């Protein structure tokens, strides 16, 4: 029978529940178990797709087109499995399902209530991931114990143990042990109150993960164990780590995966951590500095570009490069064109986004990179801005633009496809999820992928306008990848440039720490070459690090 692990959090948000769940998933997978992870989010939005990035960070997209919480990115990167839209459920989606059932008459006129109807739907979402092919389902419950909106989820997971049996469910509680400087000690009281709150909802944690800035020591761990009715070996410490990829090794050293396997009566050998240990060795060995400018609209919240940053780091790790991100507000770029800040960059990334704000700055950054031989990688909106820039400044298409931002432009080089124009629901015009592209043989992009048919995930509405393909043809601007029917441009690149490449897709969603996305690896190779050329005193990349 499938085993279930529920991860809850207390004291404060952003403690690392998602990373704990992802790390635990990796450890169990390395024991030979088949693992899937899901996130239950208490907000009322149906999905994160319409949330402002300043509110909730990036929207992570799955192969099947699910717009999900960014924690699913951590899950995929750690367990190296492609998840689906079923791995994310929100209060809004759950209530929508229940209300639709009520309208259809499924409840035969009975009063619809939080218990049992909402809690039953939550349990159904959890059970939907359990199958004969899955050994362990790890479910992270978003929010913090004590939040009013989290109560139905806590009640549902409390009931779940009664439904499937005590030996098939384990509760892991992630909490904070803060350091109080005036007293010079870590304090356990917040953890005690958090556990009391969880127990008041009928859930006794089986294991507690104590987050702290520094190791808390065995005495404090035993104190927490005694006050929480948790065995001492089940209270583990996860202090701040220099790299998030250290976390699986930290919690394994603390014995969390052993404790959980014992609790759930899972008969599996010790995890094979050879690959993960090697990954962390490469992280430590990545010392060649490379400065990458990320031209974004939401740079005040770095989580808005979480997958992009992690993908850059993945490539850097493989190449021995220490990636330093220069967060550049897109609206400021035009004022920086003559300043040292841009001249000091070894590469430029123009990521995706929606809305007009900052677009001219992204276009200016594309032009700066093109004219100054700076490696440049465009993602989604980045491709569109690079297409606009080339059309304006090389092809002489005056006021070329996207009709999304300037409907009256005389040259809409980026536009809606004809089939999308009469759709009134903008969500219905989105291209979401994995799409196949045919790459041009011998192109830069094809060489990076090592194949000519590839699949990447998308999240966008506007496309390269096919009516302008002929004007770009025959120039240094190459449409090096397109949809199988030839209608949609998927990749572009520039001849006679170190690296000026873009894709309409989001390859960052498929990058893994042990298997970087090909475009990011190619970009970082070009950026590293520029960094070494600008700084001859830098040591060559360690030959022992795999390229």
Which among 248, 147, 161 is positioned nearest to 206, based on CA atoms?
161
CB 172 within 8 A of CB 6: yes
Distance of CA 224 to the CA centre of its chain: 33
CB 47 within 8 A of CB 88: yes
Which are the contacts of 210, defined by CB distance < 8 A and separation ≥ 6? 175, 176, 177, 191, 216, 220, 221, 224, 235, 236, 237, 238
CB 344 within 8 A of CB 291: yes
Instruction: Tell me the C-alpha distance between 312 and 359, whole Å.
Output: 22
Instruction: Tell me the C-alpha distance between 496 and 62, whole Å.
Output: 35
Which are the contacts of 242, defined by CB distance < 8 A and separation ≥ 6? none
Which are the contacts of 473, defined by CB distance < 8 A and separation ≥ 6? 479
Tell me whether residue 424 is exposed, middle or buried, using C-beta atoms within 10 angstroms of its C-beta: 0 to 12, 13 to 18, 19 or more.
exposed
Element spanning 273, H or E: none
Choose, from 490, 508, 525, 532, the residue flagged as catalytic.
508
Six token digits for residue 292: 């990458």
Instruction: Tell me the C-alpha distance between 81 and 36, whole Å.
Output: 8
Element spanning 541, H or E: none
Choose, from 380, 385, 497, 525, the residue flagged as catalytic.
380
- Whether 314 sits among the annotated catalytic residues: the reply is no
CB 235 within 8 A of CB 251: no
Six token digits for residue 229: 């009715």
Distance of CA 30 to the CA centre of its chain: 22
CB 140 within 8 A of CB 17: yes
Q: How many CB atoms lie within 10 A of CB 388?
A: 28
Start-to-end CA distance of the chain, whole Å, equals 42
Choose, from 460, 463, 506, 532, the residue flagged as catalytic.
506
- Whether 380 sits among the annotated catalytic residues: the reply is yes
- Whether 497 sits among the annotated catalytic residues: the reply is no
Instruction: Tell me the C-alpha distance between 320 and 543, whole Å.
Output: 9
Which are the contacts of 377, defined by CB distance < 8 A and separation ≥ 6? 347, 348, 349, 350, 499, 501, 502, 519, 520, 523
CB 293 within 8 A of CB 348: yes
List the catalytic residues: 380, 506, 508
């Amino acid at each position: 029978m499938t085993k279930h692990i529920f991860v809850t959090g207390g004291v404060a948000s952003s403690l690392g529940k998602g990373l704990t769940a992802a790390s635990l998933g990796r450890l169990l997978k390395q024991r030979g178990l088949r693992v899937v992870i899901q996130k239950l989010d208490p907000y009322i939005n149906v999905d994160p797709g319409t949330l402002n990035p300043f509110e909730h960070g990036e929207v992570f997209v799955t192969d099947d087109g699910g717009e999900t919480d960014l924690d699913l990115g951590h899950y995929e990167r750690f367990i190296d499995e492609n998840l689906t839209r079923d791995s994310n459920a929100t209060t809004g989606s759950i209530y929508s399902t229940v209300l639709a059932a009520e309208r259809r008459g499924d409840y035969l006129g009975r009063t619809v209530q939080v218990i049992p109807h909402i809690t039953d739907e939550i349990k159904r979402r959890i059970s939907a991931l359990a199958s004969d092919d899955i050994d362990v389902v790890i479910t992270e419950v978003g929010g913090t114990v004590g939040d009013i909106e989290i109560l139905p989820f806590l009640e549902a997971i409390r009931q779940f143990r009664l439904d499937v049996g005590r030996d098939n469910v384990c509760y892991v509680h992630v909490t904070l042990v803060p350091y109080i400087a005036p007293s010079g000690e870590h304090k356990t009281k917040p953890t005690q109150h958090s556990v009391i709150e969880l127990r008041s909802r009928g859930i006794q944690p089986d294991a507690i993960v104590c987050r702290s800035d520094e190791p808390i020591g065995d005495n404090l761990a035993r104190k927490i164990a005694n006050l929480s009715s948790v065995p001492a070996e089940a209270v583990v410490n996860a202090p701040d780590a220099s790299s998030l990829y250290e976390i699986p090794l930290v919690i394994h050293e603390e014995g969390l995966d052993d404790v959980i396997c014992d609790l759930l009566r899972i008969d599996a050998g010790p995890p094979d951590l050879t690959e993960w240990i090697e990954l962390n060795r490469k992280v430590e060995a990545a010392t060649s500095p490379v400065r990458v400018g990320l031209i974004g609209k939401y740079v005040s919240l770095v989580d808005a570009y979480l997958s992009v940053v992690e993908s850059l780091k993945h490539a850097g790790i493989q190449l021995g490069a220490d990636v330093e991100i220069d967060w550049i507000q897109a609206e400021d770029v035009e004022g920086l064109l003559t300043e040292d800040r841009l001249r000091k960059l070894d590469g430029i990334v123009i990521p995706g986004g929606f809305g007009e704000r900052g677009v001219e700055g992204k276009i200016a950054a594309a032009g700066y990179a093109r004219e100054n031989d700076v490696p440049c990688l465009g993602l989604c909106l980045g491709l569109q801005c690079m297409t606009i820039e080339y059309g304006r400044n090389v092809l002489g298409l005056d006021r070329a633009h996207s009709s999304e931002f300037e409907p009256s432009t005389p040259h809409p080089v980026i536009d809606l496809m004809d089939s999308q124009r009469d759709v009134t629901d903008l969500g219905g015009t989105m291209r979401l999820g994995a799409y196949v592209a045919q790459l041009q043989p011998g192109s830069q992009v094809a060489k990076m992928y090592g194949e000519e048919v590839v699949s990447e995930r998308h999240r966008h509405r506007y496309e390269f306008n096919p009516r302008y393909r002929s004007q770009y043809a025959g120039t240094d601007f190459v449409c090096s990848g397109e949809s199988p029917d030839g209608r949609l441009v998927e990749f572009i690149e520039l001849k006679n440039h170190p690296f000026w490449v873009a894709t309409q897709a989001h390859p960052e969603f498929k990058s893994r720490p042990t298997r970087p996305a090909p475009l990011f690896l190619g970009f970082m190779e070009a950026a590293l070459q520029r960094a070494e050329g600008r700084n001859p005193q830098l040591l060559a990349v360690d030959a022992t690090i795999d390229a």
